[in-house]
Structure 1
Amino acid sequence: MIRFEHVKKTFQDGTTAIKDSSFDVKEGEFFVIIGPSGCGKTTTLKTINRLIPISDGTIFIQDKKISEYDINKLRWNIGYVLQQIALFPHLTIEENISIVPELKKWTREDIANRVTELLNMVGLDAEKYRKRLPHELSGGEQQRIGVVRALAADPDIILMDEPFSALDPISREKLQNDIQDLQKKIKKTIVFVTHDIREAVKLADRVCLMKSGDIIQVGTPEEIIHNPANDFVRTFTKSVQPEHKHDLDITTILTDDVTEGAPEISIDTSPFDILRHFTSNERLLITKNNRPIGSLTKATFTDAFIEHFEKGAV
């Protein structure tokens, strides 16, 4: 879907934000770029929709160079969600969501139906919220509108630049869960930037860890945690590294659902092996003495996994 080939970016002041990046983002993948402040992750994100021009190399979308796309059509097919929600304060929620569909000359009826569909999809009653102004909403509700606006014209790609970092912990966790649930329904290609390893592990299909403009490691959360490429990766992910392993009692987070259809694993399976199973499954059936005793969901397990190993960090 998205492919970087030897991409570099040097600004006029001589700062090199991207040194030589080559990686791909698969169609329908939740791809998280993570790293410390100033590592180049936001610059990398902004090169995808040409908000920042690259200095060298090539970026492809669907095997076509992004430089060959009409810039307006390129951006209309790429939703963008910022940390600074950036809703237009004088426009209603419906008007904020309608901006790109109007530019694409959708009919009023189609736009109204789309607004209704999207608001309801993120748990905001359409008739209650569509005529409100942004200042009448909480921070978490405004950020939901930011996500909805990015989805309005049904783009293939969504870029998200630390969209939840300004929110309180409760709102942030709720929106993380919401975006996981939403992705199961919409199956978009999402490129998500964060500096929070907990958020990356929870959300990502694959993680791209950057440092000083270089890509240090790309892999599943389990690969990044269990097989760090070097000391930097090991340090950055210290809170979830194997050396901090203690027994994690998963019986406290099991649900009573023993419906068949999910892969079965023993309750004696190690947390890291459970995490490996969750790279390709959303639910696991937990067994004891070969008999199902409950289910474990990916979201519940990753939350417990992160909290547990952070407590064991040194």
Structure 2
Amino acid sequence: MIRFEHVKKTFNDGTVAIKDSSFDIKAGEFFVIIGPSGCGKTTTLKTINRLIPISDGTIFIQDKKISAYDINKLRWNIGYVLQQIALFPHLTIEENIAIVPELKKWSKAAIMHRVTELLNMVGLEAEKYRKRYPHELSGGEQQRVGVVRALAADPDIILMDEPFSALDPISREKLQTDIQDLQKKIKKTIVFVTHDIREAVKLADRICLMKEGNIVQVGTPEEIIHKPANDFVRTFTKSVQRNNTFDLKRLIIEDIKNDAPHVAISTSTFELLRRFKTTDQLIITENDKVIGTLTKDMFIDAFIDHYEKGVV
């Protein structure tokens, strides 16, 4: 879907933000770019929709150079969600969502249907929210509208630049779960920037870890955590490693309960505890394949054992 080939970016002041980056993002993948402040992750994201022009190399979307696309058509097919939300304060929620569909000359009936569909999809009752203004919504509700607006014209690609970092922890965790559930329904190609390794591990199909403009490692959450490429990766993922100190595989049983929720084996201890508030069993997956069932009792016993030893 998206391919970087030897992409470089040097700003006019001499700052080198991207140093010869090559990687690919698959169609329908939730791809997370992470790294410390100033590593080049947001710059990398913004090159995809040409908000920032590259200095060298090539970026492809669907095997076509992004420079060959009409810039408006390119951006219409790429949704963009910001940390600052950036809803237009003088427009209603419905009008905010309708901006790109109107530019693409959708009919009023099609736009109204799409607004209703999307608001309901993210848990905002359409008839209750469509005529409200942004200032009448909470931060979490505004960010949901930001996500909906990015999806309004049914783009193939969604770019998300630290969209939840300004929210309180409870709203942030809820939106992380909501975007996971939403992705299962819409199956878009999502490129998501964060500085939070726990958020990355929770959301990503694959993670791209950057440092000082360089790509240090690209891999699944399991690979990044359990097979770090170097000491930098090992240190950066230390907090997640600390929350996965016991081997879940030894706790997994083969009996599969088909209606139990699915979680990846890389899921953090905190997130597993949260999930077990509402279920007694979880189906564990690895690389999208079911490997067995984890029961609440076995997990809690193992957690308490490790806690008493001071390693959780």
Q: Where on the TM-score scale, by shorter chain, does this alignment land: which range?
A: 0.7 to 0.9
Residues of 2 paired with 1:244 and 1:284: CA distance? 17
Letter in 1 for 2:39: C
Question: CA offsets, 1:36-64, max 9 Å, x none?
Answer: 00000000000000000000000000000
1:1-314 matches, within 5 Å, as 1-241=1-241, 245-246=245-246, 258-259=257-258, 277-281=285-289, 285-286=292-293, 312=311
Closer/same/farther in 2, CA of residues 204 and 295 from structure 1, 3 Å limit: farther
Residues of 2 paired with 1:13 and 1:210: CA distance? 21
Give the match's secondary structure for 2:183: helix
Letter in 2 for 1:35: G
What is the aligned residue count?
Answer: 285
Closer/same/farther in 2, CA of residues 250 and 170 from structure 1, 3 Å limit: farther
Residues of 2 paired with 1:171 and 1:242: CA distance? 24
Closer/same/farther in 2, CA of residues 257 and 239 from structure 1, 3 Å limit: same
Residues of 1 paired with 2:243 and 2:99: CA distance? 50
Give the match's secondary structure for 1:86: coil
Taking every aligned residue pair, what percent have the same amino acid on both sides?
78
Contact 2:29 2:189 in 1 (8 A): yes
Give the match's secondary structure for 1:241: helix
Contact 2:257 2:283 in 1 (8 A): no
Contact 1:284 1:295 in 2 (8 A): no
TM-score with structure 2 length normalisation?
0.84
Query: CA offset at residue 239 of structure 1?
Result: 1.4
Residues of 2 paired with 1:231 and 1:155: CA distance? 38
Query: CA offset at residue 240 of structure 1?
Result: 2.3
Residues of 2 paired with 1:132 and 1:295: CA distance? 46
Which stretch of the first structure deviates more once superposed, 95-104 or 236-245? 236-245
TM-score with structure 1 length normalisation?
0.83
Letter in 1 for 2:92: T
Letter in 1 for 2:287: T
Residues of 2 paired with 1:8 and 1:257: CA distance? 48
Question: CA offsets, 1:169-197, max 9 Å, x none?
Answer: 00000000000000000000000000000
Letter in 2 for 1:211: K
Query: CA offset at residue 149 of structure 1?
Result: 0.1
Residues of 2 paired with 1:19 and 1:107: CA distance? 45
Letter in 2 for 1:74: L
Where structure 2 has 5 or more consecutive residues not aligned to the other structure, the ranges are: 263-271, 273-281
